[in-house]
Amino acid sequence: MNRPTLAVRRLGIDTWRENVAFLHRDCPVVRAAGFQALSKVTIAAGGQSIAAVLNVVDDAHLLEPLQLGLSEQAFARLGAADGDAVSIEHAAPPPSHAALRRKIAGERLGREDLHAVVADIAAERYTKVELAAFVVATQQYELDREEVLHLTEAMIAAGRRLDWNGSGGGRPIVDKHCIGGVPGNRTSMLVVPIVAEHGLLCPKTSSRAITSPAGTADTMEVLAEVELAPERLKQIVHAVNGCLAWGGTAALSPADDVLIAVERPLAIDSPGQMIASILSKKIAAGSTHLVLDIPVGPTAKVHSEAAAQRLKRVFEFVAERLGLTLEVVLTDGRQPVGRGIGPVLEARDVMQVLRHDPQAPQDLRAKAIRLAGRMIEFDPAVRGGDGERIATQILDSGRALARLEAIVDAQGRRAEPPPPGPLVFDVPAPADGVVAGIDNLRLARIAGLSGAPQMAGAGLDLFVKLGDAVRRGEPLYRIHACVAADLGFARREALHDSAYAITGGAR
């Protein structure tokens, strides 16, 4: 049976990571081939083909019966011109579909299986439904360490890999990463300039927030552009020894980037996926040495020393097999680091530490020096134990501040940072007493309701931390928001439960 020719039409609809095709209900192909809404289809033009999900259109205003509409990303990916002839077929399932089904059924996947799955994800051949199924089927402890190794390997293989060959003059390419879970923990923006100033290459790529009120990329974006193409990123690191970029756009681990888009709405962040996500991006960025920060605390991502040790061993297993030198550091995750939570407020804390502001949060300073010290000791010329002293000198001399400014200029300085959200509410202490506990998850949730990280100025400013004395009615923290509805949501949640436990009085 011959099918009529269809003309492609760019519809200018942003459906983000899912390719969507549109056909009119009266299109002869819809009737002849039995296409339905949400059918998976393959669309081809000029030797190029893409997978897409079909939407059926009843409105002749949008599309004529002999046109095939494409969402913005699908159109870009197909690479055809408006009006070009296209063909459409029922899609065969993606090559890894059998492996996906076996994983859903609880089976162990081999190296080939995981490479096939990741290749399909990176090529955007999975629907959102299939992505969600993979994410749920591989969460918690559903991946063993060999599977995590193969998932990591596959994620590296699916992306670009930066090569610093020669640039380091044989010196290590260093990086740091925190597994997250502790709000306000913006040490990277201090550690990268210190280490870069010492002379090591530190091409740091970070993700945006997955389930937290701000990721390093969100906070850095207050000051500078973070979406850098790989070539640009390389030039910057050659010029100033370091960068603070967003990994996704840098095309280093496209599969991971697709997966995060599904993990985020589900608030899933499971060990195997986390290890593969972190290590694949670090290795793809060309790092040879990594310091990994695992905060431990009752409301951090890792609740106990025992769980931290278990996670540490899998990280070390995968890193060792892939030739990455890894130092895991367990840190105090019982409360937020610094005072600000949210992009603008965290950027303020970082600048206070760099500028020796008397208001600067000392816990953020101490933690940054500790981590930078461990990275500096990756330098073979540095004696074991000297790292922290060197880091402190670089910070106190103002050289770290100058280096961060140089990195910001190199990435592209943005206009003056916006002020914290103008709509505020101070959350009062319910009684006299001492701060005995702070719930990181609840604080992150309240900060999220205030609008962070989408609204850079939104978030929380903490006035007291563990061990501080407070009097009844004194503010524990201030909520900043940019929109009245957001302030209302965050305020209601904070008044219901502030996330602070005060001893010597009722919480």
How many whole angstroms separate alpha carbon 146 and alpha carbon 91? 32
Burial 315-335 (b: 16+ CB within 10 A, else e): bbbbbeebebebbbbbbebbb
Nearer to a second copy, 63 or 404 (CB): 63
Which residue number, 132 or 382, has a Cβ lying nearer to a second copy? 132
Of 82-121, binders to a second copy (CB under 8 A) are: 89-90, 92, 101, 104-106
- The set of residues, in sequence order, having a beta carbon less than 8 Å from that of 269 and lying 6+ positions away, is 180, 210, 211, 263, 301
Q: Given the residues 269, 349, 363, 461, select the one marked as catalytic.
A: 269
User: Which residue's CB is nearer to a second copy, number 24 or number 198?
Assistant: 24
What is the smallest separation between the CB atom of 71 and a second copy, expressed in angstroms? 8
Q: Which is nearer to a second copy, 415 or 484 (CB)?
A: 484
- Whichever of 435 and 479 has its CB closer to a second copy, that residue is 479
Q: Helix, strand, or coil here: 158?
A: coil
CA distance 84 to 8: 6
Distance CA 260, CA 477 (A): 30
Q: Evaluate whether 113 touches 102 at the Cβ level (below 8 Å).
A: yes
Helix (H) or strand (E) holding 478: strand 475-481
DSSP letter assigned to residue 417 = P
Residue with smaller CB distance to a second copy, 107 or 409: 107
SS3 readout for 253-271: CHHHHHHHHHHHHHCCCCH
16 forms part of the interface with a second copy (CB under 8 A): yes
Least Å from the CB of residue 476 to a second copy:
24
Crossing angle between the packed helical segments 128-137 and 254-266, to the nearest 10 degrees: 80
**Active-site residue flag, 439:** no
Q: Is 38 in the site for a second copy (CB under 8 A)?
A: yes
Using CB under 8 A, pick the residue from 44, 66, 132, 431 that binds a second copy. 132
| Encoded tokens for 79 | 């690479």
Cβ–Cβ under 8 Å, residues 6 and 67? yes
- Residues touching a second copy: how many (CB under 8 A)? 61
Query: Is residue 381 near a second copy by the rule CB under 8 A?
Result: no
Do the Cβ atoms of 41 and 91 come closer than 8 Å?
yes
Assigned token pair, 312:
């540490």
Q: Return the range that interacts with a second copy (CB under 8 A); candidates 123-131, 331-339, 347-355, 357-365.
A: 123-131
Residues within window 136-175 making contact with a second copy, judged by CB under 8 A:
136-137, 139-140
- Looking at 7, 26, 28, 33, which residue binds a second copy (CB under 8 A)? 33
Strands (E), 120-240: 174-178, 202-206
Within 485-504, which residues bind a second copy (CB under 8 A)? 485-486, 489
Please choose, out of 25-33, 159-167, 179-187, 349-357, the segment that lies near a second copy by the rule CB under 8 A. 25-33
Q: What does the block give as tokens for 297?
A: 């605390």
- Which one, 56 or 202, has the nearer CB to a second copy? 56
261 phi-psi bin (left φ>0, alpha ψ -120 to 50, beta other) = alpha
Under rule CB under 8 A, residue 64 binds a second copy: no
22, 164, 425, 500: residue in contact with a second copy (rule CB under 8 A): 22
Q: Is 34 in the site for a second copy (CB under 8 A)?
A: yes
Complex with a second copy: residue 139 or 280, whichever CB lies closer: 139
Closest to a second copy by CB, 87 or 167: 87
Segment near a second copy (CB under 8 A); pick from 9-17, 278-286, 341-349, 380-388: 9-17
Q: Are strands 6-10 and 67-70 parallel, antiparallel or unpaired?
A: parallel
Stretch that binds a second copy, among 134-142, 317-325, 334-342, 401-409 (CB under 8 A): 134-142
Q: Which of 8, 57, 121, 401 binds a second copy (CB under 8 A)?
A: 57
Contact flag: residue 235 with a second copy (CB under 8 A): no
Report the C-alpha gap between 207 and 336 in whole angstroms.
19
Listed ranges 31-39, 111-119, 152-160, 363-371: which one lies at the site for a second copy (CB under 8 A): 31-39
Binding part of the chain for a second copy, among 76-84, 149-157, 161-169, 263-271 by CB under 8 A, reads: 263-271
Distance CA 290, CA 273 (A): 18
Give the type of residue at 465. Answer: K
- Residue 129 CB, shortest distance to a second copy, in Å, is 4
Q: How far apart are CA 179 and CA 440, in angstroms?
A: 14
Q: Please report how many Cα atoms fall inside a 13 Å half-sphere around the Cα of residue 239, on the Cβ side.
A: 15
Q: Are 302 and 441 in contact (CB under 8 A)?
A: no
The answer to whether residue 415 forms part of the interface with a second copy (CB under 8 A) is no
Site for a second copy contains 306 (CB under 8 A): no
Peptide bond into 453 cis (omega under 30): yes
The binder of a second copy chosen from 120, 130, 221, 379 (CB under 8 A) = 130
* Identified binder of a second copy from the candidate list 99, 156, 244, 262, rule CB under 8 A: 262
- Paired strand residues for 438: 500
Residue 280's CB is within 10 A of a number of other CB atoms, namely: 28
Which residues within the stretch 448-487 sit at the binding site for a second copy (CB under 8 A)? 451, 454-455, 482-486
Catalytic positions, written as ranges: 269
Residues that bind a second copy (CB under 8 A): 1, 10-17, 22, 25, 32-34, 36-38, 40, 55-59, 61-62, 71-72, 89-90, 92, 101, 104-106, 127-133, 135-137, 139-140, 261-262, 265-268, 451, 454-455, 482-486, 489
